Amino acid sequence: ASQANSVSKVEADLNGFEALLAGSADLTRLINSPVFSSEDQAKAIAAIADKAGITGLTGNFLRVVAKNRRLFAVPGMIKAFRQIAAEARGEAAA
């Protein structure tokens, strides 16, 4: 995602996914609960991403994270990506 256009697209997609998380207790439960199998999580995330228009790098990323049972870490990954993207733009950390 190092090309400027890719970074902004990924950042926008991650912001959209984060907004979905903030607005849905069910989605939050899905990513945090060990009760759901990785297959169930991957199918659900694929459907949610497709419906939300989250495609390309971000869509693939979310699918891989789901298959590897690491969805619980996505909020931290989003925060880390934002920091890296801000540094790449030359923005100072607040």
User: Looking at residue 89, what is its pLDDT?
Assistant: 82
Question: Which pTM was predicted?
Answer: 0.84
Taking the CB of residue 65, how many other CB atoms lie within 10 A of it? 19
User: Looking at residue 94, what is its pLDDT?
Assistant: 57
CATH topology classification for 4-88: Peroxidase; domain 1 (1.10.520)
Q: pLDDT (tens digit, 0 to 9) for every residue of the chain, 94 residues total?
A: 556 578 889 999 999 999 999 999 999 999 999 999 999 999 999 999 999 999 899 999 999 999 999 999 999 999 999 999 898 888 876 5
- Contact, 62 vs 54, CB < 8 A? yes
Domain definitions of the chain by residue range: 4-88
Taking the CB of residue 76, how many other CB atoms lie within 10 A of it? 9
Q: Which two tokens stand for residue 4?
A: 């400027």
